[in-house]
Each structure stands twice: as structure tokens, then as C-alpha cells.
Amino acid sequence: MDTFSNAAQNVGAEIFTAANLDAACHYISERTSGTMLLPRQASLERAGITAALQQNTGSLVVFDRQQAEQAESGVTGANFAIAETGSIALESTDEQVRLATTLPSKHFVLLDPGKIVSDGMAAIPHVRKLHENAPRNFLAYITGPSRTADIERVLTIGVHGPKELHIILLKSLSDDFLES
């Protein structure tokens, strides 16, 4: 877990280890105040994330495409993470997931530490299972906040995606790699 945390921080992500769901929601509430996009994901729904966020933050939690452009933050789970690079892997075929990870200026990822693999080679069996389960799915790898460079090599953060990536490590969320 330390290797993952260090690698993620080196690429600009913020890491927080939450003792429980309330602590995770409190962390989110201290960093966002506007509308949150929260796609329907099995592990997050089972944990009761929608009600917990609304109770802890007082912010509007939506699944609505029409409100996506105004959302300040997106909250998602993750299928797995790669320690070597500090990357999150997220099955993003569903439009709600893609919107939550690309439109808001802040992206909060809830990740069970049991879903951290050492490197890309260790991820292959999990990627294979994801594609066997749904052959035409889209798997996104997210490594730090959005970065864009122009032809003059000027690096800009957050132009084509979130300016901030917050990874919240929450044990017992879900250890199923097919589930985000």
C-alpha cells in the first residue's frame, strides 16, 4: 500500500486512508461543497454512499446527465489500482462513470486496499476477467490529475479533466475486481 500511495502522490494525487465510510465522506465534505456526480456502482451503492454523502456534506448528489456540467466533483469506486504507477483502473463503459471522472474539477475515488496489485503484469488476470465478463467494455486508467501539454511543452493541469484526484483508501468496500 505504501508503494501505491507514494507513486500516486508523485503524480499529483492526494491519498487519504479512511477508518470508515463516515470518515471518507467527511474527507470529501471538507474539500467540496457543490453538486457531486455519483454514478451507480455496486460497491458504492452497497456501502450506502449516496445517503452518507448527503448526510455528511449537505451537497446535492446526482446521477443526472443534465446536471453533469455544473458538478464540482465526481465520486467513483475503482476496479483495481496499480502500485508501481499509482494508477486507478476503472471500467468506464457507462456514460455516468465517464462523466463523473472527466467533467468535474475534482475526482474522488473510493478504493479498497485489497484491490491494489503490484504492477501491470499482475493486473493482466483482472483485465482479462473484466473483458471476459463484458467484451466491449471500456477500461480507463487514471494516473493523477488531468495533464495536457501543448506543442511548446507547456504542461497544464485540469484542462481536459479534473484538476484534483483524491484517492480514499477504505477497507472492506469491495475486494471484487469485477466491481467498481
- Spell out the domains of the chain, with CATH numbers in brackets: 2-170 (3.40.50.10420)
- For residues 87 and 142, the answer to whether their CB atoms sit within 8 Å is yes
Give the model's pLDDT for residue 154: 67
Task: Give per-residue pLDDT as tens, 49-77.
Answer: 888 888 877 666 777 777 788 889 999 99
- Give the pLDDT band of residue 179 (cuts 50, 70, 90): confident
- For residues 90 and 101, the answer to whether their CB atoms sit within 8 Å is yes
- Residue 99 to residues 40, 63, 105: CA-CA distances in angstroms? 12, 10, 11
- For residues 157 and 164, the answer to whether their CB atoms sit within 8 Å is no
Q: Which helix (H) or strand (E) holds 139?
A: strand 139-142
CA–CA dist 106, 34 (Å, integer): 11
Distance of CA 73 to the CA centre of its chain: 11
DSSP secondary structure code for residue 153 in this structure? -
Give the model's pLDDT for residue 151: 67
3-class DSSP assignment, residue 96: helix
For range 104-132, the mean pLDDT:
95
C-alpha cell at 97: 462513470
- Residues in the chain, overall count: 180
Q: Whole-prediction pTM value?
A: 0.91
